[in-house]
Amino acid sequence: MPAPTAAPALFDVKSASLTLEAFVLKTGNLTALAQALDERFGATPDLFNGEPVVIDLTHLASLDVAIDFPALIGLLQKYQLKPVAVRGTTRKQSDAAQAAGLVEAPDSHAAPARVETVEVVREVVREVVREVPVEVEVPVAATTLIIDKPLRSGQQVYAKGGDLIVTAVVNHGAEVIADGSIHVYAPLRGKAIAGAKGNTQARIFATCMEPELLSIAGTYRTTDNPLPDSVRGKPAQIRLDGERLVFEPIS
């Protein structure tokens, strides 16, 4: 009779490094936070698409601000963010967070690791940061998404982490979104949202600028405020100067 063989392992437990968003909270006033989030992300409520986030309370730990974590979790979930952990907390804040189902991220009671930050919400929430919670930071390579077919009303294209190039018309009711810049080599008649996660250097280019809405890093303009005659219906670029959109024709 042959000797019995060992059963194959049905699972393994291994270490893993994950890239997470850190939601840096600077207020305990969730009413004010809800208003700021709506101003920043109200036009694109599905922008984050269920991404896990770490709630960073570093700015509030020294004040020992009490946080209503169930309410905060529900507010972030409204914008498709999935809170999974906290960091930078006091012991009392950490206990409240764990009672709400959040885990404590490494170094939660220590100074935060060096990360790249970008401004995303004025006044209340000033930054969303991308980091790898390990000793060695891993850079995220920018990518470019190219779309060569017309976009119809109701269609949405999102270039996550890079630029978006569209070589066909973006019709009324369509939406193009990019973390970087947007280039439309055709009429732009729908919504264009560049610098979606706070990149203030992003720009919007079109060979025929006729958009329903333009937005760069949260600063936006709609058809309620018509474009200047020098760029409306013409080749043009849009850039951000402070908190003001600048419109420039392309000759």
Is the model's pLDDT at 3 over the cut of 90?
Answer: no
Once rounded to an integer, what is the mean pLDDT over residues 17-39?
82
Once rounded to an integer, what is the mean pLDDT over residues 115-139?
41
The pLDDT-based confidence of 137 (bands split at 50, 70, 90) is: very low
C-alpha separations of 187 from 111, 148, 184, 206 in Å:
49, 13, 7, 7
Question: CA 6 to CA 83: how far, in whole Å?
Answer: 41
Is the model's pLDDT at 129 over the cut of 60?
Answer: no
φ/ψ (deg, to 5) at 244: -120, 130
The pLDDT, as a whole number, for residue 64 is 72
Count CA atoms within 13 Å of residue 102 on its CB side.
30
Q: Are 150 and 187 in contact (CB under 8 A)?
A: no
Residue in 239, 218, 22 with CA at minimum distance from that of residue 120: 218
Between 199 and 49, the higher pLDDT residue: 199
The pLDDT-based confidence of 16 (bands split at 50, 70, 90) is: low
For CA atoms 98, 100, 103, 109, the dihedral sign is: negative
- SS3 letters across the chain: CCCCCCCCCCCCCCCCCCCEEEEECCCCCHHHHHHHHHHHHCCCCCCCCCEEEEEECHHHHCCCCCCCHHHHHHHHHHCCEEEEEEECCCHHHHHHHHHCCCEECCCCCCCCCCCEEECCCCCCCCCEEEECCCCCCCCCCCCEEEECCCECCCCEEEECCCEEEECCCECCCCEEEECCCEEEEEEECCEEEECCCCCCCCCEEEEEECCCEEEECCEEEECCCCCCCCCECCCEEEEEECCEEEEEECC
Is the model's pLDDT at 28 over the cut of 90?
Answer: no
Q: Over the stretch 104-126, which tens digit does the pLDDT of each residue have?
A: 886 544 334 333 333 333 333 34
Highest mean pLDDT among 53-57, 79-83, 205-209: 205-209
User: In this structure, how many other beta carbons lie within 10 angstroms of the beta carbon of residue 40?
Assistant: 22
The pLDDT-based confidence of 187 (bands split at 50, 70, 90) is: very high
The pLDDT, as a whole number, for residue 127 is 44
How do strand 116-118 and strand 128-131 relate by DSSP bridges? antiparallel
Radius of gyration of the chain (CA): 22
Is the model's pLDDT at 202 over the cut of 70?
Answer: yes
Tell me, yes or no, if the pTM score tops 0.85: no
Is the model's pLDDT at 91 over the cut of 50?
Answer: yes
The pLDDT, as a whole number, for residue 203 is 96
Question: CA 56 to CA 42: how far, in whole Å?
Answer: 22
- Extract the tokens encoding 50: 């269920």
